[in-house]
Structures are given as C-alpha cells and as structure tokens.
Structure 1
Amino acid sequence: MTAFRPALVIVDVQEDFCPPSGALAVQDGRDIVPAINELLSLDFVLKVATKDFHPPDHVSFASNHTEPNNKPFESLITIQNPLNPEETQETRLWPDHCVQGTMGSELLPELNATEFHHIVEKGQDKRVEMYSAFADPFVNPNVSRSELAKLLRDKQISDVYIAGLAADYCVKYTALDAAKEGFKTWVLPEVTKAVDPTSLEDVHKGYETAGISLITVDATRQRLEGAGT
C-alpha cells in the first residue's frame, strides 16, 4: 500500500487576482486567505505556491491584439502550438495581469508565505496560455512545463490538495493535470473563488469524471492528523 504523503498546492493567490485593485480581480478573492493560512499550519510533506508570471507581450493579454477582437473577458482567439502548427487551442483574452516585476504579480502579503517550501512560476512563455501550474494545454508536444511535477515526485507525494484562484480556471486545470500526472487529487471548494460562479457545477462534474475528490478544510485536517504525517 502506498504511503500517504500529502502536498498542498495554493494556486495564484496574487494581488492582480484580488480586490480592491487587482487587474483581474476575482470577487471575494482575499476572503480565502484565513483558510489558506489554516491549511499552511498543517503538516503537509510539501507546500507549494504557484504564481502567474507573464511577460508584458503575453498572448493572453487583450492589449497585445488588434481591434475589434481584443476585448478583455469577451474576445476569443485561436493559438497555434508553436512547435506543431496543426495543434490549436481557443483561449479567452484578459486584461494585462501578473506581469513580471509588478506589484500585481506578488503573493498577497497576508499569506503566511514563509510556510511555503517552493514557489512555482508559470505563464512565462509569451506564445501560450498556461492556466495549469504543470504545463500549457498543448500536448503534441507541450511547449512549457513547470517544475511542479518534479517537486511532487521528488518528495514521493501520493495526494495533492489544491486551493486558490480561480476555481474555474487555474485551480481547475491544475487539478486536472495533477490527476493526469497520477496523483490522488483533492480540491477544497471553500478555499477557492471563481471568475464565473455559475460554471462551478460543470467544473465539479469534470472533477468527478477525472476521479478528483472535493474535500473540506476540516476533513483535510482530520486526514492529516489521523495519518500522523
């Protein structure tokens, strides 16, 4: 039987994703910080924060496209895999956000960030979108991969617990990729907020199909304390 070795992945709890002044603020995004700090106090084998960390000319920024197809939140574009033009992805355009070296890219100061063992940056390749903290959505081949899978495997992680922002984008795709990478994957819905809360029913159906489980903070604490990690 595989040993229970849990990791916590906190996705993109950054200034630009939170009120009051984030460029791409998720409603009530800051409200999940106390619960995140509670999770960070638990005895996870590995605790990782992820950060969007875009160059200013990133393909997902509406400002880098021409009218009329450059409306943030509305316009959709088709991106070709730069390593295989036959593979394409449709993606939404966003306001400029989490630009490298800006305050918007910083983790929230109220996070107990000293608890993190690693901070994984993503979205640095200007040519591709990268919601998942593991890799961009292209598969034939991937264009950009982070160090997250290696960090988890190096620590022989069995279970990955995921929370953060936003529930319907970066949390969702990080969870789906964690399951694809072979980890038992858990999402904490009470420690996430969504860009579009009406989408969450479909998100959770996708989790069920992928074998991803939903769990509360209390149940997570009980599992970790009971396992004596």
Structure 2
Amino acid sequence: MTLDKAFKAALIVVDLQEDFCPPNGSLAVTDGRSIAPVINKLLQLPWALRVATKDMHPKDHISFASNHPPPNNKPFESSITISNPHNPDETQSTRLWPVHCIAGSPGSELIPELDVGHIDHVVEKGQDKRLEMYSAFCTPFLNPKIVETGLADTLRERDITHVFCVGLAADFCVKATAVDAAKEGFETFVIREGTKGVEQGDEADKKLVEELKEHNVTMVAVDGPEVAKVRDLK
C-alpha cells in the first residue's frame, strides 16, 4: 500500500440490506448477516468518511426474473443482454435475480445489526428500471454514462485517497464498487472478513482475488497492515 503524507481513507459498506441476508432475505447471501460485527468494529476506526450503499429498485426493474417471459426467466440461472438506452452498440450481459430491495420495502432496509450511527453518507442505487447497477458509483455503460450516484465527487470533496470496501455480495456489488473506485483513481481494497459472496469457498475466493487484482484492487485482511494504517490514525 502506498503510504503517502495525504493518507485519507474511506470505508464503503455495500448493500448490507435485509433482502441480502438470512433468514428471510429474498436474495440472501449465505452467512451474510454474520459480517455485521466485523463491519461495526471497522466503523469505529478513524475513517475520513463512512459510506453505506443500498439497492433501491422499482418493482419493474430489469434484473427481476419475474419481469421477463419464460423460458428465460429463471432466477440465478437465466441471463439477459441489456443495451445502453442511448447507445445500442454498448451492451451488458447480466444474470436475473429474484425480486429484491424494492424501494420502501422492509427488504430494502439496512439490517438492524449494522451500527448506522457511524455512517456519514448513504448512496442509493439501482433506481433506473432499464439498467442493472452493481456498482455504487455508476451503471456499467460509459458511452455515454447513464446514471452516476455522485459518490466519486463525495469522496474527492473529502480528499479521500484510499477506499476500503466491505458488505454484500463480494462477487457482485462489492467487486463492482471496488473496481469503479480504482478506476476513479483511489487506491482500493476489499477487506476479506467484512464480506461474503454469492459463490463461496476457496476456489471462489481465489477467483475473486484474481479478478480484483486485474483491476488494481487488493484483497486484504482485517488485521493486516492496510487496515492497521487506518487504526494508527487514532
């Protein structure tokens, strides 16, 4: 990790919402709720900014399998191709999911185990029914960009240099958020103990580490030197 004199770190807690957590979440990540204690301890560190993100979908969102005709409408199995509404040559293939995180529903709420009293800023995403949006920064379409949340500007306004990501799910929204943070020029890390993936196990972890590395994002340990740098700011 680059340890420069202007070191200012932000923690992004990605989508730690009811619908992504057992026992009742419609798109529950195995053991997703179990990461809350780790994240709460991290939130107590002297971050320059603490951000929570939330999926906030309309009922007719394109990612919901039930909004597509059979046979290509099986949650977790079916995929569709989405085109940039302003540039049909730019496309994205995405998996279909069960209905989840409907705006205003109990499933869209941050889990009560999360210490929201330490959260400085909340980013809501996924509100455009036409687009999938895993990242807390923007939709994947770039030519032109369709939706930006303003998170990059918020980080720059606080002079953030380093971004640490935790939350759900490691291999989807956490990964996309971390990758976009790196693209925006922040030195970026994912804290392993603070996240869980849809796919779990040693092979899934190894794959995720490699995918992150390809985009200049580093997987780190909660007790590693990267997080210690933040802890030492006290």
What's the TM-score bracket when you normalise by the shorter of the two chains? over 0.9
Question: How far apart are the structure 2 equivalents of 1:71 and 1:190?
Answer: 31
SS at 1:30 equivalent = helix
Aligned equivalent of 1:160: 163
Q: What whole-Å deviation, never above 9, does each CA across 1:156-206 have from its counterpart, x for those lacking one?
A: 100000000000000011011000000000110111101012433222112
Q: Check whether the contact 2:136–2:177 (CA below 8 A) recurs between aligned residues.
A: yes
From 189, 192, 196, the equivalent of 2:195 is 192
Provide the alpha-carbon RMSD of the alignment: 1.2
**Equivalent position of 1:225 in the other structure:** 231
Under a length normalisation based on structure 2, what TM-score does the superposition of the two structures give? 0.94
Q: Deviations over 1:117-144 (max 9, x none)?
A: 0110000010000001111111111111
Partner of 2:139: 136
Secondary structure of 2:231 counterpart? helix
Q: TM-score, normalised by structure 1?
A: 0.96
Partner secondary structure for residue 19 of structure 1: coil
Q: Does 1:87 align with 2:90?
A: yes
Counterpart in the other structure of 1:57: 60
Partner of 1:4: 7
Q: CA deviation at 1:2?
A: 5.1
Q: What amino acid is aligned across from residue 122 of structure 1 in structure 2?
A: K
Compare 192-201 and 90-99 and name the one that shifted more.
192-201
Q: 1:180 and 2:204 equivalent? A: no
Verify the 8 A CA contact 1:186 1:215 in the aligned structure 2: yes
The answer (yes or no) to whether the contact 2:179–2:216 under 8 Å persists in 1 is no
Contact map agreement 2:163 2:189 (CA 8 A) in 1: yes
Q: Does 1:97 align with 2:100?
A: yes
Task: Give the Cα–Cα distance (whole angstroms) in 1 for the partners of residues 227 and 217 of structure 2.
Answer: 18
CA contact (8 A) 1:42 1:221 kept: no
Displacement of 1:208 in angstroms is: 1.6
Q: What secondary structure sits across from 1:168 in the alignment?
A: helix
AA paired with 2:132?
E
How big is the shift at 1:221?
A: 4.4
Question: Identical aligned pairs, as a percentage?
Answer: 55
2-structure distance, mates of 1:147, 1:116: 17
Question: Which segments of 5 or more consecutive residues in structure 1 lack a partner in the other structure?
Answer: none
Check conservation: 2:17, 2:111, Cα contact below 8 A.
Answer: yes
CA pair 216-122 structure 1, distance change in 2 beyond 3 A: same
Q: Distance in 2 between matches of 1:83 and 1:51?
A: 25
Q: How far 1:209 sits from its partner (Å)? A: 2.0
Correspondence for 2:41 among 31, 38, 42: 38
Match of 1:150 in 2: 153
- Offset, 1:218: 2.0
Q: Distance in 1 between matches of 2:67 and 2:166?
A: 30
Q: Secondary structure of 1:151's match?
A: helix
Q: How many residues align?
A: 228
SS at match of 1:48: strand
What secondary structure does 1:169 align onto?
helix
